[in-house]
A and B are shown apart, each in its own frame.
Chain A
Amino acid sequence: MKICVLIKQVPDKDSSLTIADDHLTLVENNITWVSNESDNYALEEALLLKEKHGGEVIACTLGKDSARQVLKDALAKGADRGIFISDSSFDNLDVLSLGKVIASTLEKENFDIIMSGLQSDDQGNSQLGLILAELLNMSHGSLVMGTEIIDDSTIRVKKELEGGWFQWTKLSLPASISIQSGINSPRYATLKGIMMVKKKTVDDVTASDISSDALESNVTINKIYVPDKTKETQFIEGSPEEISEKLVELFKNDIKVLN
């Protein structure tokens, strides 16, 4: 199996975000950057499939220079090589255009499986895996919570539906699979793995390597902002004792869930 894993670099969930004066970007110097959470699960699933069935795992990211780190982390965990797509002309592309850039990069590799996290923790478009499936003529499955290789040409995936329902679906290979978080327990890099990173290759891809002529974004983000509060929140302050007393009053007299 030749598996590609798409990994995006995003701000850590605990980062406090400050909007820059352009109302479009974030002040970057107080952000801790990490690999997107569900992408970590996708990488682990790819590594597990490789360990069981053999093959190759290639980590791919598209991002700014700092995003090389997510490839290093993936190589340290066991990915065999990396593909780093980066060019300032990609900065403001919408997700369909980014899909075209990535599809054009991955096309020549003839992957059996492309794995991605189901959603990025920054923009959260939740689209890329399916866009690639269409552009590269692959089958697809999204919100996947389990995988099982049936034979050289078929994978069976357990899809999460709403309200606690699931569904197994057979996919002919090649397939693009979007992984839901929680599917496995992502490993940590070992010291040996980290030492191996230097021996592995990362191929750089820039706009000049992209055959697609559709590098024009059709969606424009006009601004980003802190959401307006939709509710009047009454804040309760004091020492932990005082807060607890006030909460109990509230539970008894206003919300009426305590006698």
Chain B
Amino acid sequence: MKILVYIQQDEGKINSVSLEALKGSQEIAAQTGGTVSALSFNSDITSQLAGYNVSEVLLAEDDNLNIFNPLFYLKAMEDIAKAESPDIIVFGHSYEARDWAPRLSARLDIPLISDCIGFKMEDKLTFIRSIYQGKLNSDSVVNKGAFIVSFQSGAFRVDGLQSGSAEIRNVTVDLSGVSDSISPEEKFQEAEQAVDLTQADVIVSVGRGIGKEENIEMARELSKTLGGEIAASRPVVDAGWLESSRQVGSSGQTVSPKLYLALGISGAIQHVVGMKGSKNIVVINKDANAPLFEIADYGVVGDIFEIVPKLISVIQGS
């Protein structure tokens, strides 16, 4: 089993989800007797990569690969896949990967099992995905041939990464004929990005269960009473009830407060990845089957509109 893991570079550093994917690749290799090659398009991270237990580090350098552009990345990977013939190409499921890995699947005409939360070795190498908004999992296998897999943030713990000393090998890619039909401009942050949720000890977070905009006030009052910040899952921000800088999850902030109190949040994976590192997770939801209970330290199956006002008055009275 020849595993090629693509390592994304952000501002001269290894992207954290890519590093987890490297750990996942090491685990797959250990269980299948395979080898891991780590591929980078940027020399800033290759020496760090060579310090991990991989059989080699591949470096493809080209001016057109300095800034992410899916069409150039695709052609580079296509050339490398043809030259190296990996059995599995592994990605961390970053937003950047989402913008080219599926197209790579069509380009190479091999399947992509995307956004996996883990794998297990049964009769075949089996990949676990979270489906139906976190309510269920599925086990997938590839019938034959090479394939691509991407792993969700949090699928593997990087503190178990094995170190080693690998050689760095330069590989050549030919990007001369790549179309310029996609031209990225500069990245920017919206001015409203004011709230730093990562510093809060207490976060009171609301989800779709909050029902309507007027009800946000109740949660805001609870957050103030607890000396914390109010936050939300994506649907609340999409509805315009809270500013986007208060969003927790893959498209918002990643937080790990002492107390994460979730009100009416069901627990889609995109939210969970942003808060599962919290020290104490307390979930209040009227739906006992809400997936977020799976990672809760404390759970209350009940109506937030009955409990929260009482909770505020008990805290204020104490």
Task: List the interface of chain A (C-beta within 8 A of B).
Answer: 11, 13-14, 16-17, 19, 94-96, 99, 121-131, 133-135, 139-143, 159-172, 175, 180-182, 217-227, 229-231, 233-237, 240-241, 243-245, 247-248, 250-252, 254-258
Select B315's contact among A163, A235, A258, beta carbons within 8 Å.
Answer: A258
Select A133's contact among B103, B112, B269, B287, beta carbons within 8 Å.
Answer: B103
From residue 228 to 249 of chain B, which have CB atoms closer than 8 A to chain A? 228, 234-235, 237-238, 244-245
Query: Any chain A CB within 8 A of the CB of B217?
Result: no
Q: Is the CB of B297 within 8 A of A234?
A: yes
Known contacts A125-B114, A227-B136: A219-B141 contact under CB 8 Å: yes
Closest B residue, CB atoms, query A227: B137
Q: Is the CB of B293 within 8 A of A180?
A: no
Closest A residue, CB atoms, query B15: A162
What count of chain B residues pass the 8 Å CB interface test? 99
Q: For the complex, what is the distance from the CA of A248 to the CA of B225, rounded to whole Å?
A: 11
Task: List the interface of chain B (C-beta within 8 A of A).
Answer: 70-71, 94-96, 98-103, 105-107, 109-115, 126, 129-145, 147, 179-190, 193, 201-202, 208, 226-228, 234-235, 237-238, 244-245, 250-253, 258-259, 266, 269, 279-280, 282-283, 287, 289, 291, 293-303, 306-307, 310-311, 313-315, 318
Can you give 28 contacting A-B residue pairs, CB < 8 Å? A17-B136, A94-B111, A121-B132, A123-B138, A126-B98, A130-B106, A142-B98, A164-B190, A164-B245, A164-B252, A167-B185, A169-B184, A171-B182, A172-B180, A181-B238, A219-B147, A220-B140, A220-B142, A222-B139, A223-B139, A234-B297, A235-B300, A241-B310, A247-B300, A251-B226, A252-B318, A257-B228, A258-B315
Select B99's contact among A130, A164, A223, beta carbons within 8 Å.
Answer: A130
Closest B residue, CB atoms, query A256: B258
Which B residues touch A130, using CB under 8 A? 99-103, 106
Closest A residue, CB atoms, query B251: A160
Select B181's contact among A139, A164, A221, A225, beta carbons within 8 Å.
Answer: A139
Which A residues touch B300, using CB under 8 A? 235-237, 243, 247
Q: Is the CB of A251 within 8 A of B135?
A: no
Q: Is the CB of B103 within 8 A of A226?
A: no
Select B314's contact among A99, A161, A245, beta carbons within 8 Å.
Answer: A245
- Chain B min CB distance to A219 (Å): 5
Closest B residue, CB atoms, query A161: B95
Which B residues touch A180, using CB under 8 A? 251
Which B residues touch A224, using CB under 8 A? 131, 136-139
Select A219's contact among B140, B185, B250, beta carbons within 8 Å.
Answer: B140
Which A residues touch B101, using CB under 8 A? 130
Select B226's contact among A240, A243, A257, beta carbons within 8 Å.
Answer: A257
Q: For the complex, what is the distance from the CA of A251 to the CA of B227, rounded to whole Å?
A: 12
Q: Is the CB of A231 within 8 A of B136?
A: no
Q: Is the CB of B296 within 8 A of A233?
A: yes
- Chain B min CB distance to A78 (Å): 21
Q: For the complex, what is the distance from the CA of A164 to the CA of B113, rounded to whole Å?
A: 27
